[in-house]
Amino acid sequence: MSRRTRRRVLRRGAWLLLALAAALSVSVTDASAQVGQGERARRGQHLDRAMLEQRLRQRMAEMIREELGLSPEELSEVERVLGEFDSVRREMAREERAIRRRVEALMLEGGEDQDEAAELLERMVALRNREASVFGEEVARLREHLSPVQILKLQAIRDRIAQRIRQMRRRGGPGGDWPPPGGGPPA
């Protein structure tokens, strides 16, 4: 098998793994909610999700190493830098979701509260400025270990994965039929 063919197979495998992880995450959540097994189900769900996230991180690391041509040591340094920014990115994502939910609620309420609208706009601008600042810091740290072209490739990998996850969420999983109407297993 040629290197190019092997790469294509690995990429397809990566997308399949991502799709499977998303589907299992959705199905575990829905199944646990339907069965209603309380705390034990939540702990099992948390462990399943943690295992899926770990597999996803491993596959993403493999893609980064291969596509950027990194040694294991270089990959370790890149992962360390990315890890430094993970909690900040998660916090910003939570903030963005909270703002979006409040904007949607405001619009459903008629969207006439000018003070709240102004506050939401200020929060949006502050968040975008923070995102730009964090991105700049991350790029500066990555430049200690990667070339500019490698950083662009890394960003492309991250964008592809994020886009694929968004597509799967919109479709309800890798096959587009999960969870089906009614929340049970597909017929």
**Residues with Cβ < 8 Å from 45, sequence gap 6 or more?**
28, 29, 32
Mean pLDDT computed over 26-32? 41
Judge whether residue 126 has pLDDT over 90.
Answer: yes
Quote the pLDDT of residue 12.
53
Q: Provide the mean pLDDT of the chain.
A: 78
Judge whether residue 84 has pLDDT over 80.
Answer: yes
Quote the pLDDT of residue 40.
55
Answer whether 5's CB lies under 8 Å from 50's CB. no
Is-above-0.85 flag for pTM? no
Mean pLDDT computed over 122-133? 97
Q: Greater confidence, 99 or 112?
A: 99
Quote the pLDDT of residue 168.
80
Mean pLDDT computed over 109-117? 90
**Residues with Cβ < 8 Å from 13, sequence gap 6 or more?**
59
In angstroms, the CA 179 to CA 3 distance is: 37
In one letter, which amino acid is 184? G
